[in-house]
Structure 1
Amino acid sequence: MRATLRLAMIGCLGLALTAGRAAPAPDLKAFLAYPFLTDLVAPERGGALAWIEMREGKRSVWQARGADLTATRLAGSGLDDGMELAELAFSPDGRILAWVRGGGEHNDWAANLPPPNPASAVAQPTQEIWVSVEGSAPVQVAEGAEPALSATGRLAFVKDHQAWTVTLTPGAKPEKLFYDRGKIGDLAWSPDGSKLAFVSHRGDHSFIGIYAGPDVPIRWLAPATAYDGDFAWSPDGTRIAFVRREGEADLLASPLTETPNPFSIWVASVADGRARQLWASPRTIEGSYPQVPDGMFVRWAAGDRIVFRAEMDGWPHLYALSAGAGGTPRLLTPGAYMVEHVALAPDRTALIYDANTGATPGDIDRRHLYRVGLDGGAPVALTKGEGVEFTGAALGGGKVAYVGASPTGPMRVMLAGGGTPKPLGEPGPAYAPPGMVVPLPVSFTAADGTLIHGQLFVAKGQAARKPGLIFVHGGPPRQMLLGPSYMDYYAHAYAMNQYYAAHGYVVLSVNYRLGIGYGRAFQHPAKGGIAGNSEYQDVQAGARFLAAQSSVDPARIGIWGGSYGGLLTAHALAHDSAIFKAGVDFHGVHDWSLYPGLITRPERYEQGDYDAAMKSAFESSPESALKGWTSPVLLIAGDDDRNVRFDQTVDLARRLRAQGTPFETLILPNEIHGFLRYDSWLRADEASVEFLGRTLKP
């Protein structure tokens, strides 16, 4: 009786209500039934394709082979089991395809944790390597990750941070290739398959090593007090090009200001390990090592040239450098846009990439496919229009495959070259949820004069003065598009923004500073993140823009977002509850000072500098303004989160409860940061829809 009375009192106060599974909102499942396609790859010599499809949590591996590239489904359980499929890898000739089943969230923090178990299976899940030879039935050959196939069909992989191998014969047992005291990664066979190059990560430095056989010591390439990696074999296998840098630059890991993190391109002899520097980037902010988008991308191209990505003009672009003479790199992709997802053509004379540029208004918030030759000439557009196209794979003979989608249609793998692009694979069940809209490209100005881009989702023909909803992405180095994203987390967010627009909300997705797509200065702003939270003013500007729309009721504006978007959702509710009447916070960061490791290497700083950085970290956190938080919030998180620690949600809930702020929670046992199960997303979305409807549509 006493316990019952106590629970009833808590419910009346609106505190700590655990959100149960609400009744499904009308046609929510229709919006979540989109096909998501990822990991589109082609073998080094072209002639085949593979990709991964996910629909309602059911993952499958597809392969297209033969002259007409007939696509077949190779693998997939047909279950929403949360077992990720990833890391597709062809042998150079395309005869063998390998992939990994299980795992998730690849970062240093998660590296020593067992594979996640989001379905709460009784048996502990494992991370497995599967192989299909010439399209045959797949076979599990080992436990591990990062499969790498040689020209001779030999498979190497990583297990427990060491390099292993297994022969592709029935009953073969995996064997450790060699011992190394570092953490092994980035396996790559030489062109003839006789040697294996790898990176040995050793904390404050890393080496590139060459394994040449069981009786040959590891050969290290010019070892130094540096981070060496991002390497590429020469076509004849006698040299390796690699990137050297002194340290890692990360906006959120710097104390209060960003400092240059230059890098250099080196070429080493495989025979003796000696190396020489070909070129060094300028010691400027723009000359810093480019970590996003999509890493460095280093390849050895035709004409003894090395191609790589850099941001020396303030945008991520491709450059070519002579492997023999060095000199000044030649810019291949000039312009105020970002180059992303790059592939080298089989003959090594051209690069295929997607970029946020084109002739259609709003292309800065799209992706289109381009080809640029290494022998000169301007990039050539392969796609255009109001759709999005990304992750190109070069097949040879002028053929290119890519993933494409319209703003209101499903993703498909498309084949271009020699006529109208044609879809590959089976279309699957129709994806046509009612009420989808073509989002509008919009822009508005933050308080400090910074131009901010966004996408406005508004349905026609509905009653005026609807509630408004701000969406903020995570990352933060991400960009929401005028169509589905190439990342599954944001493809889901796009579908939900479409759902909200179709059900009586006007939605504004805000691409705030710290994000990609608008130049390096935008991505690395002054006083961003833990150094001052300057990006929050972009959210405030978005709210002003949304409130000014004639179709929006400014008294009913809410906000939702995940990860860094959860942090900004919490900021909005803490600083501006008068504007934001409710919010849904997916696994957000709420107190930066709970992450002292973000102030990298505290022993490097004077105590006063470190104390100032920690003070700034807390003052840049939502919990520093908690007393102003009066609007209700729904907190959603998985307790096996490996990107944002679960204690961020625990701590916020404890503080909100203490001051009487209304909040509700939906906790998903054993789920990770990017939920692995469709059922988890469905439960979270049902709870979000019900909560926002109850708080913004009374």
Structure 2
Amino acid sequence: MVGLFCGKTRNLSRLQGSSFRLMKLLLIGWLTVCLGGPAFSQSGSGPSRYSIEDVLSAPYCAGLVGEPQAGRIAWVSAQEGIRTVFVHNVRSGQTTALTNYQTDDGQDISDLHISADGRWLAFVRGGAKNSEGVSPNPTSSPAGAEQAVYLLPTDGSRAPVRVSPGNQPVFSPTGKRLLFVQGGQVYLAEIPGLSADKPVNAPVRLFTARGSQSDVTWSPDGGRVLFSSVRGYHNFIGVYDLSRKVITWLAPGVDRDQSPVWSPDGSQVAFIRVPGKKHGEMENVQGGHRFAIWVADVATGEGRTLWQSPADDGGFAQDYPAEPLRWTASNKLLFFSEHEGWMHLYALSPTGGKLTDMTPGAAEAEETAVPADGRYVYYSTNLNDIDRRHIWRVALTDAGPVTPEPLTTGTGIETDPVVVGDQLFYRSASWNRSTGIAKRRVGDSSQTLLFPAEPAPRFPTMALTEPKQIVFKAADGVEVHAQLFLPNSTSQTPRPALVFMHGGPMRQMLLGWHYRGSYYANAYAMNQYLASQGYVVLSVNYRAGIGYGRAFRRADRQGPRGASEYQDILAAAKYLQSRPDVNPLKIGLWGGSYGGYLTALGLARNSDLFACGVDIHGVHDWAWRGNHFSPGGGWAIGEAEAKVAFESSPAFNLDFWRSPCLFVHADDDRNVTFAETVDLVQKLRDKGVPTEVLIFPDDVHSFLLHKNWVRTYQALDVFFRKHLMSQPEKPLTSEK
């Protein structure tokens, strides 16, 4: 797909020679000045036109971390497949690009860590291995690919140096040592000074332990290492003493202990205890389990329970936040739980006693930050703005009632707070701005965009449409939120419409650029593009998603147990049919992963309602997944559930499937087996159902190559044009 130009600019493009080039440059400059942003063309009073490449051209920032003691923050910017690590010196105000990768090679960058002295930054490049022991290699490089730890100075004086294959890097308190995990074992690398010829000595295995080690952290004095040892049915929490060369196991039992944290003085460790695994027990990502907060003495290894959840309130509350348990400098334990109906952050004394809800209200609390003094906790939440995210803070004191205060408000999306001195840094986006890095002084009402300072040259800031919040009810009375994208047009002709469904299903699309990875940011951008092409687009936050409380996320009979969330998709279609600007005969579906499942389910059950669909790596047979993907398929699908699971699948209703479908899938998918698409396409071909496919060898579920996202959306654009735009328009006065 190339940029779409129309009107005078497009006609001028037929001219030749230097005079035209001069006129074109002048015209582009005039448009930029008049519109206050990147140039784009308009066709009379019709919709603004821009390309898929244009709307995907903005940098997307993730992985924001900070080191308050060193006065530095860092993040990763991904722009059209080029991933770059940036560091910002808070004291000097200087931002530096530390890496210079130049190609869209699909090698992700994650796990950023800054040393306490601010001299070094460590990161991980590449993805984890699949079940065959192979790291993602989306370019099909004959040399293969790896996941490795890299190190570089924050002053930008050297290129990154590969330390070793591995992940989970963490600096010692002095910044002179680096721990990381390789093959489930803990390794140590010594880091000499900046003047050394080799910045890293050969790493050595620190100790050997059974199981797979993770959650590795240094003690406050740097003399011990805390870790979790994952052993299948059970986990242990261990402390390795570097001088004595011994491991102490803390309160070992028959449970799955996880997320250990040090006390400020290093004498104790708190951790989350989850019951051990039973024979035949299968994982259910939408379920829950009991959990408890424990604290143990490092010297003796003895532990005790501080708090026990009243029911199966754990699982999501420990897996979703980046730091599910903290021990603050003000000597408070902070942890997440859903036992009161929403994912909230709770405070508890290390000696036990009263539990305090630090984030009250009908809203979710997500990522947190606690400055070194431990006086406040900063967090992102959708309190009072259910379909966005903002930064709040609350004092960690024992006196008086809990009174959280909002620090950011308005129509933006603000997440992932980092506090350095009196400055608050965070990830910031809006309905017409991709996720970047912003800052403000704590208490100030205005923000400063730190990165990017200016919009990407081709990004169509002024041409986008602000989505509207829509709320409707499904047939069984469940309230459903959605975002409506309308074309910028005064045309009175009824238009084709599209229903978009996110993946997960533990996700929530917002009234702005998405914060939870480029996967959903790209989907939001594509919905903007589709609206610009004349479609009415409805992005549906169906039940089983997050953002609306535990009962909504854990709705009855969802997915393989009855597909109750499909009622929400039918309600979305009914809403679109009720609009006079929508042609009810021209409604399509699209989505990825769980959204791909719902797309296929809609076409299988209601080809009479949905004219076509684009299914991106969707699940098509829950019963098959329960037997072949993993035990229970991640949803605890056993023999007793197999019949209902199959009946809840698109594969069950193939006799009713008539509408054409485009299938997109990468064959190294670690989330949804590629065989799901192979099987369904063959069966639809046998029945004569029109199908198209777009396949990416060696890429993974969340396409790592930017060009594969572009190709996917280009194919989606062409497919919907063919099956929706090319059909005769239905008159405005026709009956629905």
Q: What TM-score do you get using the length of structure 2 for normalisation?
A: 0.86
- Measured in 2, the distance between the counterparts of 1:65 and 1:260 equals 42
| CA deviation profile, 1:355-374 (whole Å, cap 9, x unmatched) | 1123xxxx211001111111
- 1:281 Cα deviation from its structure 2 partner: 1.1
- Measured in 2, the distance between the counterparts of 1:600 and 1:30 equals 40
- Measured in 1, the distance between the counterparts of 2:204 and 2:332 equals 36
| Contact 1:245–1:289 under 8 Å retained in 2 | no
Match of 1:533 among 547, 555, 563: 563
- 1:263 Cα deviation from its structure 2 partner: 0.7
Match of 1:390 among 415, 419, 422: 415
Letter paired with 1:555: L
Q: Which residue of 1 aligns with 2:613?
A: 583
Structure 2 counterpart SS, 1:187 = strand
Higher Rg:
2
Letter paired with 1:149: F
Structure 2 counterpart SS, 1:87 = strand
Q: Which residue of 2 aligns with 1:306?
A: 333
Range 625-634 or range 84-93, more displaced = 84-93
Question: Is 1:355–2:377 an aligned residue pair?
Answer: no
- Measured in 1, the distance between the counterparts of 2:631 and 2:713 equals 39
- Measured in 1, the distance between the counterparts of 2:316 and 2:489 equals 49
Question: Is 1:113–2:133 an aligned residue pair?
Answer: yes
Match of 1:177 among 206, 223, 232: 206
Matches within 5 A, 1:104-253: 110=130, 113-136=133-156, 137=158, 138-153=160-175, 154-169=177-192, 170=198, 172-213=201-242, 216-247=245-276
- Measured in 2, the distance between the counterparts of 1:648 and 1:599 equals 10
Structure 2 counterpart SS, 1:676 = coil
- Measured in 2, the distance between the counterparts of 1:258 and 1:147 equals 30
- 1:125 Cα deviation from its structure 2 partner: 1.4
Q: Which residue of 1 aligns with 2:303?
A: 275
| Contact 1:194–1:212 under 8 Å retained in 2 | yes
Q: Which residue of 2 aligns with 1:494?
A: 524
- Measured in 2, the distance between the counterparts of 1:668 and 1:512 equals 29
Q: Which residue of 2 aligns with 1:445?
A: 473
Q: Which residue of 2 aligns with 1:593?
A: 623
Match of 1:479 among 481, 487, 508: 508
Q: Which runs of 5+ in 1 are unaligned?
A: 1-21
- 1:347 Cα deviation from its structure 2 partner: 1.4
Letter paired with 1:161: G
Question: Is 1:371–2:396 an aligned residue pair?
Answer: no
- Measured in 2, the distance between the counterparts of 1:425 and 1:492 equals 19
- 1:288 Cα deviation from its structure 2 partner: 6.5
- 1:69 Cα deviation from its structure 2 partner: 3.2
Q: Which residue of 2 aligns with 1:344?
A: 370
- 1:422 Cα deviation from its structure 2 partner: 1.4
| CA deviation profile, 1:130-158 (whole Å, cap 9, x unmatched) | 11234242322222111111102210111
Match of 1:618 among 635, 646, 657: 646
Range 421-430 or range 625-634, more displaced = 421-430
Q: Which residue of 1 aligns with 2:35?
A: none
Structure 2 counterpart SS, 1:345 = coil
Q: Which residue of 1 aligns with 2:31?
A: none
Question: Is 1:412–2:440 an aligned residue pair?
Answer: no
The count of aligned residue pairs is 658
- 1:24 Cα deviation from its structure 2 partner: 7.3
Range 618-627 or range 583-592, more displaced = 618-627
| Contact 2:659–2:690 under 8 Å retained in 1 | yes
- 1:209 Cα deviation from its structure 2 partner: 1.0
- Measured in 2, the distance between the counterparts of 1:678 and 1:281 equals 43
Question: Is 1:632–2:660 an aligned residue pair?
Answer: yes
- Measured in 2, the distance between the counterparts of 1:245 and 1:426 equals 42
| Contact 2:287–2:554 under 8 Å retained in 1 | no
- 1:297 Cα deviation from its structure 2 partner: 1.6
- 1:289 Cα deviation from its structure 2 partner: 6.3
- 1:427 Cα deviation from its structure 2 partner: 2.7
| Contact 2:507–2:545 under 8 Å retained in 1 | yes
- Measured in 2, the distance between the counterparts of 1:234 and 1:208 equals 15
| Contact 1:44–1:93 under 8 Å retained in 2 | no
Letter paired with 1:385: G
- 1:194 Cα deviation from its structure 2 partner: 1.1
| Contact 2:317–2:324 under 8 Å retained in 1 | no
Question: Is 1:505–2:531 an aligned residue pair?
Answer: no
- Measured in 2, the distance between the counterparts of 1:298 and 1:611 equals 36
Q: Which residue of 1 aligns with 2:38?
A: none
Structure 2 counterpart SS, 1:365 = coil
- Measured in 2, the distance between the counterparts of 1:149 and 1:141 equals 13
| Contact 1:434–1:502 under 8 Å retained in 2 | no
- 1:456 Cα deviation from its structure 2 partner: 0.2
- 1:658 Cα deviation from its structure 2 partner: 1.4
With over 3 angstroms needed to count, the CA separation of the structure-2 counterparts of 1:179 and 1:286, relative to structure 1, is: closer
Q: Which residue of 2 aligns with 1:9?
A: none
With over 3 angstroms needed to count, the CA separation of the structure-2 counterparts of 1:215 and 1:403, relative to structure 1, is: same
| Contact 1:293–1:516 under 8 Å retained in 2 | no
With over 3 angstroms needed to count, the CA separation of the structure-2 counterparts of 1:599 and 1:410, relative to structure 1, is: closer
- Measured in 2, the distance between the counterparts of 1:320 and 1:305 equals 6
With over 3 angstroms needed to count, the CA separation of the structure-2 counterparts of 1:102 and 1:435, relative to structure 1, is: same
Q: Which residue of 2 aligns with 1:95?
A: 119
- 1:43 Cα deviation from its structure 2 partner: 1.8
Structure 2 counterpart SS, 1:75 = coil
- 1:458 Cα deviation from its structure 2 partner: 0.3
- Measured in 2, the distance between the counterparts of 1:312 and 1:88 equals 32
Range 565-574 or range 34-43, more displaced = 34-43
Letter paired with 2:174: T
| CA deviation profile, 1:27-52 (whole Å, cap 9, x unmatched) | 22111112111011112636210001
- Measured in 2, the distance between the counterparts of 1:477 and 1:247 equals 24
| CA deviation profile, 1:272-321 (whole Å, cap 9, x unmatched) | 21111111111x24466624532662111133210111112100111110
Match of 1:551 among 571, 575, 581: 581
- 1:96 Cα deviation from its structure 2 partner: 2.3
Q: Which residue of 2 aligns with 1:654?
A: 682
Match of 1:562 among 588, 592, 602: 592
- Measured in 2, the distance between the counterparts of 1:248 and 1:445 equals 39
- Measured in 2, the distance between the counterparts of 1:394 and 1:520 equals 30
Question: Is 1:677–2:705 an aligned residue pair?
Answer: yes
| Contact 2:322–2:367 under 8 Å retained in 1 | no
Matches within 5 A, 1:49-64: 49-64=73-88
- 1:574 Cα deviation from its structure 2 partner: 0.3
| CA deviation profile, 1:536-564 (whole Å, cap 9, x unmatched) | 11111111111211111110000100000
Range 85-94 or range 476-485, more displaced = 85-94
Write out the 4+ residue segments of structure 1 that deviate beyond 6 Å after TM superposition. 22-25, 598-602
Matches within 5 A, 1:248-327: 261-282=289-310, 284-286=311-313, 290-291=317-318, 293-294=320-321, 297-324=324-351, 326-327=352-353
| CA deviation profile, 1:405-432 (whole Å, cap 9, x unmatched) | 2211233311111643212244353432
Letter paired with 1:387: G
Letter paired with 1:553: N
- 1:113 Cα deviation from its structure 2 partner: 2.7
Q: Which residue of 2 aligns with 1:14?
A: none
With over 3 angstroms needed to count, the CA separation of the structure-2 counterparts of 1:259 and 1:461, relative to structure 1, is: closer
| Contact 1:262–1:289 under 8 Å retained in 2 | no
- 1:330 Cα deviation from its structure 2 partner: 0.6
| Contact 1:346–1:394 under 8 Å retained in 2 | no
Matches within 5 A, 1:61-72: 61-72=85-96
What is the root-mean-square deviation in Å for CA atoms of aligned residues? 2.3
- Measured in 2, the distance between the counterparts of 1:132 and 1:74 equals 8
| CA deviation profile, 1:562-604 (whole Å, cap 9, x unmatched) | 00000000000000111110100000000011222599978xx
| CA deviation profile, 1:435-472 (whole Å, cap 9, x unmatched) | 31000000110111000000000023242311000000
Q: Which runs of 5+ in 2 are unaligned?
A: 5-49, 193-197, 727-736
Question: Is 1:48–2:78 an aligned residue pair?
Answer: no
Letter paired with 2:514: S
- Measured in 2, the distance between the counterparts of 1:222 and 1:596 equals 35
With over 3 angstroms needed to count, the CA separation of the structure-2 counterparts of 1:427 and 1:287, relative to structure 1, is: closer
